Structures are given as structure tokens and as C-alpha cells.
């Protein structure tokens, strides 16, 4: 084992760490591989904060890694706002989330920062809302979102309620890196700086969500819309029942087996609504009661999934691109029908989300902007344009939507409410949501996407991913499945290139390690290493014209085969 690792282990055995931690580290010495994994590096405070497996060690989520990160963040906040700092702190249902939130609160308080700590678990979007309502300079939510139960995390926010963007993200990282020891952390003191918040903020948030409703009169007529909802053992249960009631929905069925917050997520392997396994109990209930729509949120209630009946009456889960297309179209169409659309309305999506969003925006005469993956970049675009343009909705393929102008992160609570309103709106017209989806395909083109994730765990996992990206960057394919690559967009180098003409042009958005291949038939493939997990993601998008609704199944199969051939062409 490297001496550097042994030195770290010795520091944890002899330094100012609690005795229970020292005992666990001592016991871990009997398992050299596990010991090495826990100490071979420091858990990185990235541009979104921390995320990792819980346990002892420098490469794990624990009291000490959280405390050191908070000290660095506190130092930066106090530098930026010498006149005084306020922060809001929330947490989800994961194991140790409350402990990490309280640890964070005590370190902030000891640094003279005023803390608003939610009295118990709350959805991440409410944290974003609270930062804005309380005029805070920053905030933290302790969550690992949809990761497996072994993980936890720490997301840092800025004064507009969004996660950190340049220059603050890099500056906070620099301050965190300066904290060389647990002895540099102010752990205790000034507890009078901590104020508990809860129901009053809940009510303000719920009223904000209610204000997003476009057609409350339709809900009144369709109040018996049959809704199934699962919070998947997460924070959605704290607010979603009251939101349904406030909107006027009276026929809501909550999946009882997944209604209790539980960091062990006993009914699922992964608490991720993207996974059909996580939604299987909801699907069972939806089938049993013949529901109109199924909705699920992840543990911190920022992601959403919906299930609907397809054109054969079978229940299917919509992917993130389909959900986004339906949501964007509903808000633009409904606002126009209601007469409240404005000439400066705008929507925002990301570079790996379906091009169908652009088509829908253009069809409604609304500006559409594309940004890097992550809602902090959607928030940054709003910040740049809000003086002259009216933001309506933002979203990305990873099952996230951000509706309205009063939060700056993805919000599964408001998304569930508005998607149920959309289902009521279509039902009022005698249409199912799947029929609406087919209508959109006929109007804007049949776009089909698929995401392939390749996981590379362990110490050399990141190196393997880096080598894959290096290979694609230095030796890009000339064709994929016998279809020529026409353009390469390299967001790390911030340039695009036309393969035929060798023409190059700058990409006017921040750097990101993403490569996109645009093929001669309009298909696209994007390669992007995950910023929060040891995996690389490949996004495939293909499209064709759908002339008639009766041709849906045939065209769906054709596009699915096309994607499969692209995957085989890349040898994934």
C-alpha cells in the first residue's frame, strides 16, 4: 500500500477523530482492499458538492469530510458577503442525512453564519425556494438524489437558489482544498445562529406551485382524475399529498409500501424513478385501479417519472425526453389557449436532450436555448436573460423539469402537479396522454432516444473512462453503422467541426467534457462522463417522419432498430 495512504490512515488513528471512528478504521486494517478504497484519495468537492459512499476515510461521506467541506464553503461565503451571511439547509430521507445536515448547520453557525435548518426532511426544490424567499446567500441540501442506499451527498447553492456556477464553483473548491485537517474546522459554537423552519415555508412553497396552474377550471371538472403516486421512500410524501389537495385532485392513490421515508429503500434496488424496477409497485396499483396517470419522485423529490397507458392499453413508463416534450408542449399550448402567452416567452433545455423540444418551441413561436447538462446551467441562462425574456419551463432528459420563475433547480413536486393537470386537460378533450404524444410526433417529427450507461468502479474506473473519451476525441469514427459522421462538437475544446469541409467554429458555452457526433441522416450520439458517478453516458437520438397515427408501432420499431445499430456500431 502506498505510503501516502498509510499516512492518512495513521492520521485518522491518532488525530482529533472520535473514538468510534478510530475503532472502525482500526478494524478496517484487516481488509487492505477496503482500507485502500476508503483512503486512496480525498472525496472530491466537485462543482456540485460532495457525493460518495458513507463510511470512515478521506474518500467517504462522513462527519469529517462534510465538516471540512462546510468550513471551506463558509470561508468563501464570509469573504464574498462580509456584511453577513444567511444559509438554508435541507436533507432527504437517506441514512445519516439528518446527521450531516446538523453537522453542516453547526459548522456554519460556529463561523458566524445565520442558519435556517428545516426541522425534518424536505424536498430539494423547497430548499432552492427557501433560499430565495429568505434572501440567503447560500444553502446546502444533504442528499445523494437517486443513488443506491450506500451513498449520500452534499449539494451547495448560491444566493439565487441555484447550484454553484463559475466563478463560485471553482472558488469554493479552492477554499475547501485549503482545509488540510479536521483541526481547521470550527465544529461548535454560536448555536443561537440556528433557526428551525418548516410548515410556514411549506405553505409558501405549496402556494407557489399552485400559482403555476394554467387551467384550474379543467381540474375542477376532472377532479376525479385517477392518480397513482409513489414517493419511493423519499421526501415527496412531505408535500405531494397537500399539493394534490390544493390543486383540487380528489382521487389520489399513494403507494402505501413506498410511502414511509426510509434510507434503506426496502422495496427497490435503486431509488431511481428512471428504473422500471423502482416504479413496479406503482405500475401494479395503476393497473389494478385502471388509473389515468402514474407519477413517482426520487428520494429528494427533484426527479420525476410518469407512467401512462399506450395505444394498446398497456402501461408504459415514459422516458425523460418524452416527459419533457409533453410538459413543454402543455405549458406552451395551454398558455396560448388561455391567452396568457407573451411574445418574450422562453424555454431552456440541455445539449443532450431531445431536439424535439426545439421543434415544439419553434412551433409555438417561443425562444429555446440549449445549455450544458445540469439545472444550474438552466438557472444561469435565466439569470442572463430574465431582464428581457419571460422564462416558462426548463428540462432535461434525466427526468427533471423546472417550471416557473421562483425556484432554480429541478422540481419533481411542481412537475407532478402540472403533469397531472396536463392529463386532466387531455382527458377533458377525450384524449389520452399517449395519443397526445403521437399527435406531437406527427406534428414535429418522431424523435426517439436511448441512454446507455457504462459503469467503471474502483480506483482505475475514472482512468478507464478518461481513456475512452481520449480515444473518441483523438480518433473519432468516420462513420457509425455505415452512416457518415458529418459534424463533431467538442464541448471540452469548445469547437465544432464539419468533417466534409474541415470548417471549424467556436461553441459559445462553458467547457464540459462532452463529445457529440452528428450523422448524415440527422442522428446524433453524445458521450459524456458523469459528474457524480463512476460512469460514462452515451445518448442516442434518431428521428423520422410519422405520417399517420396507425403507423406508430411500425415507425417505433424502425427507430428502435436504428438506435440498436448505432450502439453496435460503437461496439458498446
- Extended strands (E) in 182-290: 194-197, 227-230, 252-254
Q: What's the CATH number of domain 42-197, 3.40.50.300, 1.10.150.530, 3.40.1350.10, 3.40.120.10?
A: 3.40.120.10
- Whether the Cβ atoms of residue 248 and residue 216 lie closer than 8 Å to each other: yes
The HSE-up count of residue 491 (CA atoms within 13 Å, CB side) is 20
> 359 in helix, strand or coil?
helix
Q: What pTM did the predictor assign?
A: 0.95
Q: What's the CATH number of domain 448-569, 3.40.50, 2.60.120, 1.20.120, 3.30.310?
A: 3.30.310
- What's the pLDDT at 513? 94
Cα–Cα distance, 212 to 220 (Å, whole number)? 16
Residue of 93, 97, 145, 512 marked active site:
145
- Whether the Cβ atoms of residue 322 and residue 366 lie closer than 8 Å to each other: no
Dihedral angle over CA of 319, 325, 328, 332, nearest 10: -150
Cα–Cα distance, 336 to 26 (Å, whole number)? 65
The HSE-up count of residue 71 (CA atoms within 13 Å, CB side) is 18
- Whether the Cβ atoms of residue 124 and residue 409 lie closer than 8 Å to each other: yes
Paired with 53 in beta bridges are: 151
Strands 252-254 and 227-230: parallel
Cα–Cα distance, 346 to 182 (Å, whole number)? 46
pLDDT of the chain, 572 residues: tens digit per residue: 899 999 999 999 999 999 999 999 999 999 999 999 999 999 989 888 999 999 999 999 999 999 999 999 999 999 999 999 999 999 999 999 999 999 999 999 999 999 999 999 999 999 999 999 999 999 999 999 988 999 999 999 999 999 999 999 999 999 999 999 999 999 999 999 999 999 999 999 999 999 999 999 999 999 999 999 999 999 999 999 999 999 999 999 999 999 999 999 999 999 999 889 999 999 999 999 999 999 999 999 999 999 999 999 999 999 999 999 999 999 999 999 999 999 999 999 999 999 999 999 999 999 999 999 999 999 999 999 999 999 999 999 999 999 999 999 999 999 999 999 999 999 999 999 999 999 999 999 999 999 999 988 766 788 889 899 999 999 999 999 899 999 999 999 999 999 999 999 999 999 999 999 999 999 999 999 986 667 899 999 999 999 999 999 999 999 999 999 999 999 88
Cell numbers for 232, please give them: 419511493
Domain ranges of the chain: 1-40, 42-197, 204-444, 448-569
- What's the pLDDT at 533? 67
- What's the pLDDT at 52? 94
For 442-484, the three-class secondary structure string (H helix, E strand, C coil) is HHHCEEEEEEEEEECCCCCHHHHHHHHHHHHHHCCCCEECCEE
> 420 in helix, strand or coil?
helix
- Whether the Cβ atoms of residue 417 and residue 292 lie closer than 8 Å to each other: no
Cα–Cα distance, 448 to 322 (Å, whole number)? 9
Q: Which residues contact 558 (CB under 8 A, 6 or more apart)?
A: 544
Element (H, E) at 289: helix 280-289
Pick the closest to residue 66 from 21, 132, 1 (CA basis). Answer: 21
Question: Residue 380, class by beta-carbon neighbours within 10 Å (0-12 exposed, 13-18 middle, 19+ buried)?
Answer: buried
- What's the pLDDT at 571? 85
Let me know the angle formed at the C-alpha of 296 by 290 and 302, rounded to the nearest 5 degrees: 155
Cα–Cα distance, 28 to 116 (Å, whole number)? 37
**211 counts as catalytic:** no
Q: CB count, 10 Å around CB of 196?
A: 11
So what CATH class is 204-444? alpha beta
The HSE-up count of residue 427 (CA atoms within 13 Å, CB side) is 22
- Extended strands (E) in 71-131: 86-91, 114-118
Cα–Cα distance, 224 to 275 (Å, whole number)? 28
- What's the pLDDT at 436? 98
The domains spanning 204-444 and 448-569 adopt the same CATH topology: no
Could you tell me the strand order of the sheet in which 86-91 lies? 49-53, 151-158, 138-142, 86-91, 114-118, 194-197
Backbone angles phi, psi at 354, to 5 degrees: -50, 135
- What's the pLDDT at 38? 96
Cell numbers for 516, please give them: 457529440
Cα–Cα distance, 28 to 420 (Å, whole number)? 50
Amino acid at each position: 500500500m502506498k505510503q501516502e495512504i498509510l499516512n492518512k490512515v495513521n492520521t485518522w488513528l491518532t488525530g482529533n477523530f472520535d473514538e468510534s471512528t478510530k475503532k472502525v478504521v482500526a478494524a478496517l486494517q484487516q481488509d487492505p482492499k477496503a482500507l485502500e478504497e476508503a483512503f486512496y484519495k480525498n472525496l472530491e468537492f466537485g462543482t456540485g458538492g460532495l457525493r460518495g459512499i458513507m463510511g470512515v476515510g478521506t474518500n467517504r461521506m462522513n462527519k469529517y469530510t462534510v465538516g471540512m467541506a462546510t468550513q471551506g464553503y463558509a470561508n468563501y461565503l464570509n469573504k464574498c458577503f462580509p456584511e453577513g451571511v444567511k444559509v438554508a439547509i435541507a436533507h432527504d430521507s437517506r441514512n445519516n442525512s439528518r446527521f450531516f445536515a446538523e453537522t453542516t448547520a453547526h459548522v456554519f453557525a460556529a463561523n458566524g453564519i445565520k442558519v435556517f435548518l428545516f426541522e425534518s426532511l424536505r424536498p430539494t426544490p423547497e430548499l432552492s425556494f427557501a433560499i430565495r424567499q429568505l434572501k440567503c446567500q447560500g444553502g446546502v441540501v444533504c442528499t445523494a438524489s437517486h443513488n443506491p442506499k450506500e451513498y449520500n451527498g452534499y449539494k451547495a447553492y448560491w444566493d439565487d437558489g441555484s447550484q454553484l456556477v463559475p466563478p463560485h464553483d471553482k472558488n469554493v473548491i479552492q477554499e475547501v482544498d485549503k482545509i488540510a485537517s479536521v483541526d481547521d474546522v470550527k465544529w461548535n459554537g454560536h448555536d443561537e445562529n440556528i433557526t428551525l423552519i418548516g410548515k410556514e415555508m411549506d405553505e409558501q412553497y405549496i402556494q407557489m406551485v399552485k400559482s403555476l396552474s394554467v387551467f384550474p377550471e379543467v381540474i375542477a371538472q376532472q377532479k376525479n382524475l385517477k392518480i397513482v403516486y409513489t414517493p419511493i421512500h423519499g421526501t415527496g410524501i412531505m408535500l405531494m399529498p397537500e399539493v394534490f389537495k390544493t390543486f383540487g385532485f380528489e382521487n389520489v392513490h399513494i403507494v402505501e409500501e413506498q410511502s414511509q421515508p426510509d434510507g434503506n429503500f426496502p422495496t427497490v434496488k435503486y431509488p431511481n424513478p428512471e428504473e422500471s424496477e423502482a416504479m413496479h409497485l406503482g405500475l401494479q396499483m395503476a393497473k389494478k385501479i385502471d388509473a389515468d396517470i402514474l407519477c413517482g419522485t426520487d428520494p429528494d423529490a427533484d426527479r420525476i417519472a410518469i407512467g401512462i397507458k399506450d395505444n394498446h392499453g398497456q402501461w408504459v413508463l415514459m422516458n425523460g425526453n418524452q416527459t419533457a416534450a409533453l410538459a413543454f408542449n402543455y405549458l406552451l399550448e395551454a398558455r396560448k389557449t388561455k391567452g396568457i402567452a407573451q411574445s418574450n416567452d422562453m424555454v431552456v433545455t440541455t445539449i443532450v436532450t431531445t431536439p424535439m423540444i426545439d421543434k415544439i418551441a419553434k412551433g409555438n413561436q417561443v425562444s429555446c436555448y440549449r445549455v450544458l447538462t445540469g439545472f444550474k446551467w438552466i438557472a444561469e441562462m435565466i439569470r442572463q436573460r430574465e431582464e428581457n425574456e419571460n422564462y416558462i419551463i426548463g428540462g432535461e432528459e434525466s427526468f427533471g423539469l423546472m417550471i416557473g420563475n421562483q425556484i432554480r433547480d429541478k422540481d419533481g413536486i411542481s412537475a407532478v402537479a402540472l403533469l397531472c393537470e396536463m392529463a386532466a386537460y387531455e382527458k377533458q378533450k377525450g384524449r389520452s396522454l399517449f395519443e397526445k404524444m403521437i399527435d406531437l410526433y406527427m406534428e414535429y417529427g418522431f424523435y426517439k432516444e436511448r441512454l446507455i450507461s457504462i459503469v467503471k468502479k474502483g480506483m482505475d474506473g475514472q482512468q478507464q473512462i478518461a481513456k475512452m473519451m481520449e480515444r473518441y476525441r483523438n480518433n473519432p469514427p468516420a462513420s457509425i453503422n455505415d452512416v457518415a459522421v458529418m459534424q463533431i462538437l467538442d464541448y471540452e475544446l469548445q469547437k465544432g467541426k464539419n468533417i466534409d469541409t474541415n470548417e471549424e467554429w467556436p461553441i459559445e458555452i462553458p467547457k464540459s467534457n462532452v463529445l457529440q457526433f452528428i450523422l448524415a441522416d440527422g442522428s446524433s450520439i453524445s458521450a459524456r462522463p458523469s459528474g457524480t458517478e463512476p460512469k460514462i453516458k452515451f445518448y442516442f437520438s434518431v428521428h423520422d417522419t410519422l405520417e399517420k397515427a396507425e403507423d406508430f408501432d411500425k415507425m417505433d420499431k424502425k427507430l428502435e432498430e436504428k438506435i440498436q445499430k448505432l450502439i453496435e456500431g460503437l461496439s458498446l
